[in-house]
Each structure stands twice: as C-alpha cells, then as structure tokens.
Amino acid sequence: MSFGDRVLWSGLDLELQPGEFLAVLGPNGVGKSTLLKAVLGQQPLAAGQLLVGGRPPGRGSATVGYVPQQKSMDAATPLRARDLVALGLDGHRWGVPRRSTDARRRVDEALEAVGATGYADAPIGLLSGGEQQRVRIAQALATDPTLLLCDEPLLSLDLRHQRAVSAMIDRRRREHDTAVVFVTHEINPVLDLVDRVLYIAGGRHRVGTPAEVLTSATLSELYRTPVDVLDVRGRIVVVGTQEEPGGCEHHEQHGDTSAEPAASVRRG
C-alpha cells in the first residue's frame, strides 16, 4: 500500500478465517485505517491481491459490515436509532424509502442483538456515545455480513461501554462465524477476545498471536528502537515507542482457524 513514493506497508500476506478476531495495532499514520479502506474497495493496492470471500473487494458489498470511528452525530439529525440501522440495510437504494415488514423485522432484530431496543425510537443525536456505538454495530450487522470491519470502535467510550461493545462484537463472530478486523490503538478491552494481531509500525508488520507479536524483541525490531513490553497484572504495556510515549498496548491468547478464508491479502 503506498501513496506516491510513500510506502505505508508492503509484503503483507494474511488469510482471515471465518469467525476469526484480528486486531490491527500500531501507532498513528501507519495505514491501519487504509487497510480497511482497501478491504472496502475504496483504495486500490499498489501491488498484490486482496480477496473478500474469494472475490476482489467491490464497493458497497453487503457481505462487509463497517463500524466507523465513534463520532457524535449532530443533536438535530432527523433520524431515530432504528432509522440509522435501516439505512445500513437499504440506504444505498434509490428512491423514497418504503420498507417491507421483512426489513422492519431485520432492523428490530439487529437492535435487539445489541440491546438497543429500549432507545430504538430515540433521536440518534440525543443518545450517548456508547449508545450510538451500539446502534452503529446494529447498523453494520443488519445486512448479515461475513466480515465486520471496525475502525477504532471504542474510541472515546468509557471502560464499561468498551467492554460491552467488544463483547457484542465477540458474540457476533462466535454465533455467526463473522470474521472481525478490529483496528485499535488500545487493545485492553479486547485482550481476551483476539485470535491474532497484525502489528504495523515503521513500514513493517508482524502477524501472529498476541503472545508471539507483543514481545520486547518483536516490537523492538519493528520500531528499530529498544521497546519494552511489560506484563502488568495481565495487561501488556508497551514502553519506549516515540509515537506513544508511555502509552500502553496489550494482548493475550489466541483461537483456532478453519476452512475457507473470510478475507485474504497477499503481498499487498
């Protein structure tokens, strides 16, 4: 992946299995969000091949759900929570909306799945950040995607909502085998859920289980500078990166893989 002469990352070879939870870590500006844009078909790879469900990424595929960075919606937006979810389902169609009972049922189910039924008819702009983010996940899941892309979905949420939102995403991939790509700079809330980690830094990357990637040796090599990865009461804290002075990252555990890949990138 490159912009002009600037290469963000290269040589990435990755296969994502159905139901797998991949966390994408790294400092700001290394191309984490750009990776998601490539998967969404908004950004072509400079070289290599990217397949989603065995096919090149098409723009606006219903098999890919997308949860953007948490951004408060304007208080005067004339949409209720259920309308935002419904737009995720059919907002790309032309004309004036006339929703079938089937579409309404799917919206209700999606809201139910994230525990947002209680405020389904509340104006979206009046919901809290955590509530809005739940609704966004319902919106992304309304089309029943096989791949869920999350771009910093926990940003600016408090710890309780971070845990609730990550648990929702985790349940989805366990129950529906939806593969998850989770871009974050704060892995703590998803520490227990992640199968593999893609760590991008300094134009290079490592893929592996958190235990393999988040070590002093691996990260020192990526950053080309001594980096210490400390285990503080079950959390991993990364010390010594210039981008995040005293910042923390964390990791853990891993899961299993199976059958056909949900998405794959080769030599991107």
Where on the chain is the footprint of other proteins (CB under 8 A)?
A: 40-42, 58-62, 64, 66, 68-69, 71, 73, 76-80, 83-84, 87-88, 90-97, 115-119, 121-127, 130-131, 134, 136, 139-140, 149, 160-161, 163-164, 166-168, 170-171, 174, 192-193
Q: How many CB atoms lie within 10 A of CB 254?
A: 17
Would residue 58 be called left, alpha or beta, if left means φ above 0 and alpha means ψ between -120 and 50 degrees?
beta
Q: Which of 81/197 has CB closer to other proteins?
A: 81
Query: Are residues 226 and 220 in contact, defined by beta-carbon separation less than 8 angstroms?
Result: yes
Minimum distance, C-beta of residue 51 to other proteins, in the bound complex (Å) = 18
What's phi and psi for 2, nearest 5 deg? -150, 155
Q: Considering the complex, what minimum distance in angstroms separates the CB of residue 236 from other proteins?
A: 17
As a whole number of angstroms, the distance between CA 117 and CA 111 comes to 5
Report d(CA 56, CA 40) in Å as an integer: 10
For 191, what's the count of Cα atoms within 13 Å in the CB-facing half-sphere?
15
In terms of C-beta distances under 8 Å and separation of at least 24 residues, what long-range contacts does 84-90 make, across chains too? 84/124, 84/135, 84/136, 84/139, 85/110, 85/111, 85/135, 85/138, 85/139, 85/142, 86/142, 87/139, 88/138, 88/139, 88/140, 88/142, 88/143, 89/142, 89/143
* Closer Cβ to other proteins, 139 or 146, answer by number: 139
Min dist CB 10 to other proteins, Å, is 24
User: Which run of H or E residues covers position 217?
Assistant: helix 216-223
Choice between 6 and 59, CB closer to other proteins: 59
Minimum CB distance to other proteins smaller for 94 or for 233: 94
- Nearest approach, Cβ of 79 to other proteins (angstroms)? 6
Shortest Å, Cβ 203 to other proteins = 26
Smallest gap from Cβ 46 to other proteins, in A, equals 21
Cβ nearer to other proteins, comparing 11 with 58: 58
151 vs 249, which CB is nearer to other proteins? Answer: 151
